[in-house]
């Protein structure tokens, strides 16, 4: 970043402060503050005339696509939003001339070597990190400020390119504990700024190293606010993340992005489900059969913490095999994709309903129970993904802040009479909880285990345990 000046007040130290994000308005505000302070110090009429003259000088601002200057004070590296540029000329005081020229095109210190191409033709260039490879999938955003390790390893993100709306990602590194599966599940990762030197007592590796380990590409230095607004306005869309790339590939990548398969055409549950049964024995008095549609490990942990034995089974396990385990309860887990593509699980749950065994569903599990009961599901415009989603319990009237990760929901108008809606979203009033009026069957659309997210929804697991008494 080039800042040229003669003598007089220095704005550069203000720019290189502990604040990590400066817009054009903030820089102009700093200059105007200098003008006001100079005005107070000036006593002579000649100085005042000079000040009025300088204040009338035209500020030149030119826009291409975006106006955004992102200044990273970590190692004083500067990054820029691709395609953005502006210049500003100012005379801040009568004693001297200070000319500031800011051009986003001159802020680039590392060459853009990665690209994100969306199905509508949008091309976003940035700097690659992680594995040098290509990722394809549905671009979605998550509004959590932390928890990127849990999100990256959540099987519900299969066939999706995950973008974090919080601008600084990777600052506490990656540890050995916060895994929600045995590997990274997302196809690609999009962030505003990557921390190259994380700081945390539990950190074992950087986010860059983590993505390389699991052959996952990432891109940083892009305008995630622009992409988030695009998704909120137009809905989620398929895309391709390529690192590295060549400019002559762009048109081909656009065509390929347009022709990617829709997530509703894919059976993703079978891809992430366990392949053979696995027992978790804590010498408890109760045993739950967990139908693994892409379960987060935290869900299993919370059952074990309550001294409940868990038998984790593949999603395609037959009802006869399930009943052989003589379970005290059945849990239908979270998972990726369209619930209608997991028709084999839906058919199993249809038959399990008549066994009158306590059944609990989480996220995709709610949608599967609803489909098995005769309800319908639909795809949300941009989904619910984050750890700050408000949900209302219709029985108590209480509002809960919840962790969520789903792109489909249950059609409230299609819910049969034997089921009541127990929770709704306070953002869009979509269904967030259901329960049978006469049978021990209930489900929530949000994630009571959180990870990441607020902890006070753990009571849901206690209620499930009480259902099995």
CA distance 407 to 226: 20
CA distance 283 to 141: 41
- The DSSP symbol for 306 reads T
Q: What is the CATH number of the domain that holds 129?
A: 3.50.30.20
Q: What is the pLDDT of residue 469?
A: 80
Q: Per-residue pLDDT tens for 394-415?
A: 999 999 999 999 999 999 999 9
> Per the residue annotation, which of 90, 180, 193, 449 is the catalytic one?
449
Q: How far is CA 278 from CA 48, 273, 310, in A?
A: 81, 12, 8
Q: Per-residue pLDDT tens for 192-203?
A: 999 999 999 999
Judge whether 81 counts as a catalytic residue: no
- The region of weakest confidence among 28-32, 122-126, 296-300, 364-368 is 28-32
Q: What is the pLDDT of residue 132?
A: 98
Judge whether 423 counts as a catalytic residue: no
Task: Report yes or no on 229 lying in a domain.
Answer: yes
> Per the residue annotation, which of 81, 293, 363, 423 is the catalytic one?
363
Cα of first residue to Cα of last residue in the chain, in angstroms, is 67
Residues 206 and 231 occupy one common structural domain? yes
134-158 burial, b if ≥16 CB within 10 A, otherwise e?
bbbbbbbbbebbbbbbbbbbbbbbb
Residues 97 and 129 occupy one common structural domain? no
Q: Chain centroid to CA 368: how far? A: 24
Task: Report yes or no on 275 lying in a domain.
Answer: yes
Is the pTM for the entire model greater than 0.75? yes
Judge whether 93 counts as a catalytic residue: no
Residues 171 and 234 occupy one common structural domain? yes
- Higher pLDDT among residues 98 and 246, named by residue: 246
Q: What is the CATH number of the domain that holds 454?
A: 3.40.50.880
What percent of the chain lies above the pLDDT cut of 70? 77
Q: Looking at residues 58-77, what average pLDDT do you find?
A: 35
CA distance 235 to 287: 41
Nearest to 330 by CA among 383, 274, 368, 385: 368
Residues 285 and 257 occupy one common structural domain? no
Structure tokens belonging to residue 404: 């969520």
Residues 227 and 155 occupy one common structural domain? yes
Please say if the pLDDT value at position 135 is more than 90. Answer: yes
If one counts the domains in the chain, the total is: 3
Q: Per-residue pLDDT tens for 28-56?
A: 555 556 555 555 554 455 555 554 544 44
Q: What is the pLDDT of residue 5?
A: 34
CA distance 275 to 178: 23
Range of the domain at 164: 114-261
> Per the residue annotation, which of 389, 406, 447, 451 is the catalytic one?
447
Residues 457 and 342 occupy one common structural domain? yes
Task: Report yes or no on 7 lying in a domain.
Answer: no
Residues 187 and 215 occupy one common structural domain? yes
- Higher pLDDT among residues 67 and 344, named by residue: 344
């Amino acid at each position: 970043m080039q800042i040229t000046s003669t003598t007089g007040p220095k704005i550069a130290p203000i720019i290189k402060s502990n604040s990590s994000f400066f817009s054009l308005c903030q820089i102009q505000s700093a200059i105007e503050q200098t003008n006001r302070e100079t005005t107070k110090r000036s006593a002579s009429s000649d100085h005042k005339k000079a000040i009025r003259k300088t204040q009338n000088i035209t500020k030149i601002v030119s826009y291409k696509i975006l106006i955004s200057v992102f200044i990273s004070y970590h190692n004083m590296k500067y990054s820029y939003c691709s395609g953005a540029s502006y210049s500003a000329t100012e005379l801040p005081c009568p004693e001297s001339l200070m000319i500031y020229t800011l051009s986003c095109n001159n802020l680039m210190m590392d060459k853009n070597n990665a690209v994100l191409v969306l199905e509508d033709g949008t091309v976003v260039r940035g700097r690659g990190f992680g594995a040098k490879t290509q990722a394809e999938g549905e671009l979605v955003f998550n509004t959590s400020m932390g928890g990127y390790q849990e999100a990256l390893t959540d099987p519900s993100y299969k066939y999706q390119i995950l973008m974090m709306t919080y601008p600084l990602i990777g600052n506490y590194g990656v540890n050995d504990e916060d895994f929600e599966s045995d590997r990274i599940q997302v196809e690609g990762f999009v962030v505003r700024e990557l921390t190259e030197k994380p700081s945390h007592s539990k950190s074992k590796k950087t986010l860059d190293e983590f993505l390389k380990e699991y052959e996952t590409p990432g891109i940083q230095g892009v305008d995630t606010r622009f992409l988030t607004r695009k998704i909120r306005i137009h809905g989620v869309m398929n895309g391709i993340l390529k690192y590295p790339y060549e400019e002559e590939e762009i048109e081909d990548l656009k065509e390929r992005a347009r022709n990617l398969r829709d997530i509703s055409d894919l059976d993703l549950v079978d891809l992430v489900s366990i392949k053979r049964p696995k027992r978790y024995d804590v010498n408890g008095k109760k045993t739950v059969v967990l139908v693994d549609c892409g379960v987060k490990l935290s869900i299993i942990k919370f059952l074990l913490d309550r001294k409940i034995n868990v038998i984790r089974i593949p999603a395609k396990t037959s009802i006869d095999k399930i009943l052989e385990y003589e379970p005290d309860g059945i849990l239908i887990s979270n998972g990726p994709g369209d619930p209608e593509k997991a028709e084999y699980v839906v058919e199993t749950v249809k038959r399990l309903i008549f066994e009158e065994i306590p059944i609990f569903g989480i996220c995709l599990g709610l949608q599967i129970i609803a489909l098995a009961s005769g309800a319908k599901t639909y795809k949300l415009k941009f989904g619910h993904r984050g750890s700050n989603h408000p949900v209302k319990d219709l029985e108590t009237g209480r509002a809960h802040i919840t962790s969520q990760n789903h792109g489909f929901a249950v059609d409230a108008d299609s819910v049969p009479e034997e089921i009541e809606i127990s929770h709704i979203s306070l953002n869009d009033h979509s269904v967030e909880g259901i329960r049978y009026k006469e049978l021990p069957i209930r489900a929530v659309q949000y994630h009571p285990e959180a990870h990441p997210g607020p902890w006070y929804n753990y009571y849901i697991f206690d209620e499930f345990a009480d259902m099995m008494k």
